[in-house]
Amino acid sequence: MGSSSSSRNKIPNAQELMHQTGFSSAHLLRLHDRFESLDRDNRGYLSPDDFEALGGLAMNPIGGRIIEAFFSSGQDTVDFSSFVRILAHFRPTDRNRNKEGTQQELPSSRTRKLKFAFQLYDLDRDGKISREELLQVLRAMLGLQVTEEQLQSIAERAIQEADLDKDDAISFDEFKKSLEKMDIDTKMSVSFLK
């Protein structure tokens, strides 16, 4: 116990992070270890290159986007607390906590998860998924299996499904509505090791 509390001291404002993200201190410690192993030069922050060095991510068709999600604020570095905050989106939704802590929404809530997913589509951050943006994701994921024209029809149709106000783009509300029935809890959650 003593060792864990001492290493917890290494983590800047651990208490606040735990409160904001809902991670336990064991989680934080683990993630901190991971953070340090990603941060090969011990700079205290990560740059996109650090992520790209991960083999699995390079193979991932939307790996680039996910890396971008970590650098959303326009900076090209990410420190530990933002790193954890991003990862916190993928915690399983905490049912009990949500009930008591309504004043503060955890990142793992359904809406926040959806928002994260939405932002993965929405490259230019205008709050709308345009056809072009959808097409890019499709292209990345379906790749060579489908011809470009087919991709276009798919994107077109996907937009039409969700597009309620007929502005030819999907806003977040529309996005949320069209995924209403989806079990986001399960599908956007990773079981973090302790």
Partner 1 sequence: MATSWRFTLILCMLLMACGGLSLASEEAEPRNSQTDTGTGSNSNATEEGGQGAVPITTLPIVTWKWHHVTTQYLVALWILVAWLCKLIIESNHHVTNVIPESVLLICFGFVLGGMIWGADKMQTFRLTPTVFFYFLLPQVILDAGYHMPNKLFFTNLGAILVYAVIGTCWNAASLGLSLWGCHMGGFMGDLDISLLQYLLFGSLMAAVDPVAVIAVFEQVHVNDVLFIIVFGESLLNDGVTVVLFNVFDAFVSLGGSQIDAAEIAKGIVSFFVVAFGGSLVGIAFGLLISLLTRCTKNVKIIEPGFIFVMGYLSYLTAEMLSLSAILSTTFCGVLCQKYVRANMHEHSVQTVKYAMKVFANGSETIIFVFLGISAIDKVIWVWNTGFILLTVFFVFVYRFIGVFFLTWILNRYRLVPLEFIDQVIMSYGGLRGAVAYGLAVMLDENKIKEKNLMVCTTLIVVYFTVIWQGMTMKPLVTWLKVKRAEVKELTLLEKMTNKMFNHTLVAIEDISGQIGHNCQRSKWKYFEEKWMSRILMKPSARKKQDQVFDVFHQLNLKDAMEYVTEGERRGSLEFIRKESVAIDFRKKFESEHSEDMPGMRADMSNGHCAKPTTRDPIPSVSVEMHEHAMKAKNEAEAVNAHNLLDQHLYKSRKQHRHRFSRSKFIINKDEKEVQEIFKRTMKNRMESFQPAKTGVSPKTVIKHTKKEHQQKMPKGKSISQTKLCYSGDEDFGFSEGDSASGYDLPYPSFPMRDSKPGGGIENSAFVSDLYPTESLQIPPWLAEGELDSSMVAPSLRAQASPPTSPMEMRHLGLLRVSTRSTDTKQMNNDQLPLPPTHPPPPPPSSHM
Please tell me the count of residues contacting partner 1 according to CB under 8 A.
Answer: 56
Q: Using CB under 8 A, pick the residue from 6, 37, 73, 102 that binds partner 1.
A: 37
Whole-angstrom distance, CA of residue 72 vs CA of residue 23: 21
Instruction: For residue 71, give every residue at least 6 positions away whose Cβ sits within 8 Å of its Cβ, in sequence order, or none.
Output: 48, 77, 78
Whole-angstrom distance, CA of residue 130 vs CA of residue 178: 15
CA of 17: how far to CAs of 7, 13, 85, 139, in Å? Answer: 15, 6, 8, 37
Whole-angstrom distance, CA of residue 90 vs CA of residue 193: 12
Identify which range of 1-9, 11-19, 53-61, 103-111 contacts partner 1 by CB under 8 A: 53-61
Whether the CB-CB separation of 164 and 82 falls below 8 Å is answered with: no
Q: Which is nearer to partner 1, 8 or 142 (CB)?
A: 142
Whether the CB-CB separation of 26 and 194 falls below 8 Å is answered with: yes
Whether the CB-CB separation of 120 and 69 falls below 8 Å is answered with: yes
- Our finding on whether 28 is near partner 1 (CB under 8 A) is no
Identify which range of 1-9, 10-18, 85-93, 103-111 contacts partner 1 by CB under 8 A: 85-93
Q: Using CB under 8 A, pick the residue from 48, 92, 110, 115 that binds partner 1.
A: 92
- Our finding on whether 81 is near partner 1 (CB under 8 A) is no
- Our finding on whether 66 is near partner 1 (CB under 8 A) is yes
Helix axes 131-142, 110-121, angle to 10 degrees: 90
Beta bridge partners of 128: 171
Q: Using CB under 8 A, pick the residue from 120, 123, 136, 139 that binds partner 1.
A: 120
Identify which range of 9-17, 99-107, 170-178 contacts partner 1 by CB under 8 A: 170-178
How many CB atoms within 10 Å of residue 184?
19
- Our finding on whether 51 is near partner 1 (CB under 8 A) is yes
Binding site for partner 1 (CB under 8 A): 31, 34, 37-38, 51, 54, 56-57, 60-63, 66, 87, 90, 92, 117, 120-121, 134, 137-138, 141-142, 145-147, 149-150, 152-154, 156-158, 160-162, 166-168, 170, 175, 178-179, 181-182, 185-193
